[in-house]
Amino acid sequence: MDRIRIVGGRELAGTIPISGAKNAALPLMIASLMTSETLTLENVPHLADVEQLTRILGNHGVDYSVNGKRDHQNGNGGGYSRTINFTARDIVDTVAPYELVSKMRASFWVIGPLLARMGVARVSLPGGCAIGTRPVDLFIDGLQALGADIDVDNGYVVAKAHNRLKGNRYVFPKVSVGATHVLMMAASLARGETVLENAACEPEVVNLAECLNAMGAKIHGAGTPTITIDGVDQLSGASIRVIPDRIETGTYAMAVAMTGGDVLLQGAQPDLLQTALDVISQTGAEITPTNEGIRVKRNGAGISPVDVTTEPFPGFPTDLQAQFMGLMTKAKGKSHITETIFENRFMHVQELARLGARIHLSGQTAIVEGVSKLKGAPVMATDLRASVSLVIAGLAAEGETTVNRIYHLDRGFERLEDKLSGCGAVIERISG
């Protein structure tokens, strides 16, 4: 099994191209199920989750073709930028089997497009990262509000819509990005108007709405808590660009804040993660938007402790919580990190402690007492974001750190070792 070896203590300097957002690419890919015409997605990242979802969509009858390999023309520093064409001319199977869905939670979202287009779907209950139960109740309740008949049978959600879904008003009892994606897609082909209240406002939701509108949907208010969808009879093909990955942007910004140095995050959009950038600035890093992206600089001064609480967008993202904890392990003082989105997202604490971090858990809050130095050690990734927090800590630790079980990293970070080593980090992948 592959692992990553890091020798810490190097400042980062140079340019890191920001890839397309995984969390935007996945729902956009799933939207291809909603039309018999071709959906073209630009700036698709090369990630394990993207490849897995491509296989799942293929099981339903979606054909795909890839344009472009390394792209030296678009100013991304030779990054791996791909355009992928998805065509679901005929849905050959409305069943999403356990052996596929269990490998990636987002694949459960096919239930919305399949139900809207075909009137029936049988989708296995999902798997994914072990960061809490993350139940699918909101998905089921929302689809039932649109007129779907739903049963759970032997671990599968069986959904039927007789004579199309019907528009309705639905109030999310809690903000859910995934359920907002699914209901927005399903309502696009429903009869009549649907109003979604307390909807997720994340940029990835806006990206999907832009895609669906380009396909002929009538969606208004995406990016606000109230989204209105006027259902249409059918959708057409379209072309849309995947937004830059705000989580990757925040991760590398924190890496620079941790190690010191001066890095341009090329192609990053500040408005996608302004709260996180403000927090990173409070730690002592200098954040400067430029025409090319975001420049992050820290001159070697100490890291200031900052308290954060994870919140839905536009608040501090839960997907940056682990990385920020890694940064706070070397802050000059005590910080409090409160997790409100997922109930089991502190599994990285024990591994950070192996590097010398001092962290105490109190319910949903981690109290991090900064130390003057971390020391390299073998550590193990427990989920996608936790794994990269260990990389951030390892970049600043004395000696050698080995991160094991890095298949988690490959799910969400494109060419991480190449991007960091290109800025002076001593980091390599070791196979086997």
Confidence category of residue 334, pLDDT binned at 50, 70, 90: very high
175, 210 Cβ separation under 8 angstroms: no
Cα Rg of the chain (Å, integer): 21
Give the span between the Cα atoms of 151 and 154, in whole angstroms: 10
User: What are the structure tokens assigned to 169, written together?
Assistant: 């008003």
Whether 136 has a binding-site annotation, put simply, is yes
pLDDT at 410 over 50: yes
Task: State the pLDDT at residue 347.
Answer: 86
Give the span between the Cα atoms of 286 and 318, in whole angstroms: 22
User: What are the structure tokens assigned to 222, written together?
Assistant: 């995406």
Whether 10 has a binding-site annotation, put simply, is no
- Ramachandran angles phi, psi of 109, nearest 5°: -65, -10
Whether 30 has a binding-site annotation, put simply, is no
DSSP designation for 25: H
423 is catalytic: no
Task: State the pLDDT at residue 31.
Answer: 98
Would you say the CATH fold of 22-241 matches that of 3-18+244-430? yes
Give the span between the Cα atoms of 168 and 190, in whole angstroms: 9
Beta-carbon contacts of 133 under 8 Å, excluding residues fewer than 6 positions away, are: 343
Percentage of the chain beyond pLDDT 70 is 94
Confidence category of residue 73, pLDDT binned at 50, 70, 90: very low
Give the span between the Cα atoms of 395 and 410, in whole angstroms: 18
Give the span between the Cα atoms of 85 and 18, in whole angstroms: 22
pLDDT at 345 over 90: no
Whether 430 has a binding-site annotation, put simply, is no
| Single pTM value for the model | 0.94
pLDDT at 352 over 90: yes
pLDDT at 201 over 50: yes
Paired residues of 429 in beta bridges: 4
Q: What is the pLDDT of residues 218-241, one digit of tens each?
A: 999 999 999 999 999 999 999 999
**Choosing from 129, 201, 211, 423, which is the catalytic residue?**
129
Whether 22 has a binding-site annotation, put simply, is yes
Lowest mean pLDDT among 67-76, 115-124, 250-259, 383-392: 67-76
Domain ranges of the chain: 3-18+244-430, 22-241
Paired residues of 362 in beta bridges: 365
Task: State the pLDDT at residue 230.
Answer: 98
Whether 82 has a binding-site annotation, put simply, is no
Beta-carbon contacts of 298 under 8 Å, excluding residues fewer than 6 positions away, are: 256, 257, 259, 260, 261, 284, 285, 286
Q: How far does the chain reach from its first CA to its final CA, in angstroms?
A: 5
Q: What angle do CA 44, 127, 28 make, to 5 degrees?
A: 25
| Beta strands at 218-220 and 226-230: parallel, antiparallel or unpaired | antiparallel
DSSP designation for 89: S
Per-residue pLDDT, averaged over 292-306, amounts to 93
Whether 157 has a binding-site annotation, put simply, is no
Give the span between the Cα atoms of 264 and 252, in whole angstroms: 10
Confidence category of residue 76, pLDDT binned at 50, 70, 90: very low
HSE-up of residue 403 (Cα within 13 Å, Cβ side): 33
Lowest mean pLDDT among 57-71, 151-165, 265-279, 339-353: 57-71
3 state DSSP class of 179: helix
Lowest mean pLDDT among 11-15, 65-69, 306-310: 65-69
Does residue 34 or residue 137 have the better pLDDT?
34
User: What are the structure tokens assigned to 226, written together?
Assistant: 């109230």
Paired residues of 303 in beta bridges: 331
- CATH architecture of structural domain 3-18+244-430: Alpha-beta prism (3.65)
Confidence category of residue 122, pLDDT binned at 50, 70, 90: very high
Q: Which amino acid is at 421?
A: S
Give the span between the Cα atoms of 67 and 78, in whole angstroms: 15
Whether 175 has a binding-site annotation, put simply, is yes
Task: State the pLDDT at residue 132.
Answer: 41
Question: DSSP E strands: which ranges in 104-233?
Answer: 120-124, 149-153, 156-160, 169-171, 193-197, 218-220, 226-230
Top CATH class of 22-241 equals: alpha beta
pLDDT at 113 over 60: yes
Q: Which amino acid is at 277?
A: L
Q: What is the pLDDT of residues 1-48, one digit of tens each?
A: 899 999 999 999 999 999 999 999 999 999 999 999 999 999 999 999
